[in-house]
Amino acid sequence: MNESIEAIQTEALAQITAARDERALEDARVAVLGKKGSLTRVSAGIKDVPQEDKAAVGQLLNAARTAITAALEAKQLALRDLADRAALAGIDVTLPARDLPCGALHPLTLIRDESIGILRRMGFALAEGPEIEDEFHCFDALNTPADHPARNEKDTFYFDSGKLLRTHTSSVQIRTMESQAPPVRIIAPGSAYRRDEIDATHLSAFNQLEGLYVDADVSLPDLKGTLEYFLHELFGTNTAVRFRPHFFPFTEPSFEIDVQLQLKGQPPRWIEVAGCGMVDPAVFDAINRSRKDHAYDPEKVTGFAFGMGLDRLAMIRWGIKDIRLLIENDVRFLRQFA
Ligand code: DAH
């Protein structure tokens, strides 16, 4: 019995050593340790061994099993290592890796963040409001009567509920004054929506940056100084800026702001970038009625407001001729800002 155990062990170790792949190794394992394997069979014979020899034979069997199992494991590791090396053969691991394409910020994000940065340094805090608005915040509280063209079904995206996609970010002025007593000095960047015919300077979904400053003594020179400073920070101090008298229901007096755009090889052109003005007392009245107090007493506070087109600012900043480039996501265009 002892000799046959030793013979099985020797034979098994030889087979394991000779195995060329994992399949041959598995065959060797089954041949010795499997249900009908040679060592399994011999182990079953231990019941016939005389009592006094059982311990010694048992020890020999265990030693053989341990040695064979260890050899199987070592061989398996060696075979896997060999397979890994074979898989890597022919691959030059010293070749430099290919660059992963790296994303960058969209020009609209760049201009928005830069604009916010300038205005925050001037003391404006960020505010926000919903893009799905009601008519009160978008129009009524902004002194915009029912027959104003901005409220027309043809110009505005209405929902069945009567709510609408806000046509401007000016609604955030109302929401801010409803929840905060003066002084307020806020900016609100965000999307606005109109049923506009899309062309080189118009999109139906576009981006604005609203501003509002209400305090005891806010005046027209404050408005002009603030916005001129802002535009010069953004475009450089040599940029020509003009304020053109205009009409908005929620400001009096009101202006549109134009910035001179200088494209290479073309005569300079004025581009409208913002509306602005002194908050109309009728707006303060609407706020007081909504707040049910007199925090915005038109006799005690004044304010200025402005709404800029961020897409337009980006066009001027980088000389972009067509606003549609900003939403087409053509990487050849976007890469220029990376
Ligand atoms: N909401 C106006 C628009 O979208 C722009 C505007 C004009 C905003 C005058 C203002 C303002 O805050 O005072 O055309």
pLDDT digit string, tens, across residues 21-73:
989 999 999 999 999 989 898 888 888 888 888 888 889 899 999 999 999 99
- The dotted CATH code for 107-337 is 3.30.930.10
Long-range pairs, 326-334, Cβ under 8 A, ≥24: 326/106, 326/107, 326/108, 326/203, 327/203, 334/104, 334/106, 334/107
Instruction: Report CA(307)–ligand 1 centroid distance (Å).
Output: 4
Q: d(Cα 97, Cα 62) in Å, to the nearest integer?
A: 52
274 strand-pairing partners: 257, 308
Q: Ligand 1 within 6 A of 275 CB? A: yes
Which position has the token pair 């972009």? 320
Q: Ligand 1 within 6 A of 273 CB? A: no
209 strand-pairing partners: 189, 308
Instruction: Report CA(161)–ligand 1 centroid distance (Å).
Output: 25
The helix (H) or strand (E) run that includes residue 189 is strand 184-193
Atom of ligand 1 nearest to the CA of 211: 12
**Residue 48's CB: how many other CB atoms inside 10 A?**
7
Atom of ligand 1 nearest to the CA of 251: 13
The helix (H) or strand (E) run that includes residue 80 is helix 51-88
Ligand 1 pocket test: which of 164, 168, 279 has the largest number of ligand atoms within 8 Å of its C-beta? 168
**Residue 255's CB: how many other CB atoms inside 10 A?**
23
Q: Ligand 1 within 6 A of 170 CB? A: yes
Q: Ligand 1 within 6 A of 311 CB? A: no
For the chain, domain boundaries: 2-88, 107-337
Ligand 1 pocket test: which of 256, 306, 308, 311 has the largest number of ligand atoms within 8 Å of its C-beta? 306
Render each residue's pLDDT in the chain as its tens digit; 338 residues.
777 888 899 998 999 999 999 899 999 999 999 999 898 988 888 888 888 888 888 898 999 999 999 999 999 999 999 988 888 888 888 889 888 888 889 999 999 999 999 999 999 999 999 999 999 999 999 999 888 887 888 889 999 999 999 999 999 999 999 999 999 999 999 999 999 899 998 999 999 999 999 999 999 999 999 999 999 999 999 999 999 999 999 999 999 999 988 777 888 889 899 999 999 999 999 999 999 999 999 999 999 999 999 999 999 999 898 999 999 999 999 999 98
Q: Whose CA is nearest to atom 7 of ligand 1?
A: 275
Long-range pairs, 152-160, Cβ under 8 A, ≥24: 154/195, 155/194, 155/195, 155/196, 156/193, 156/194, 156/195, 157/193, 157/194, 157/195, 159/132
pLDDT digit string, tens, across residues 178-221:
999 999 999 999 999 999 899 998 999 999 999 999 999 999 99
Nearest residue to 162 via CA among 123, 130, 136: 136
In eight-state DSSP terms, residue 200 is T
**Residue 177: alpha-carbon gap to chain centroid:** 30
Ligand 1 pocket test: which of 243, 276, 302 has the largest number of ligand atoms within 8 Å of its C-beta? 276
Q: Whose CA is nearest to atom 14 of ligand 1?
A: 275
Q: Which two tokens stand for residue 253?
A: 């007096």
Nearest residue to 135 via CA among 154, 151, 147, 149: 151
Q: pTM to 2 decimals? A: 0.73
Q: Ligand 1 within 6 A of 251 CB? A: yes
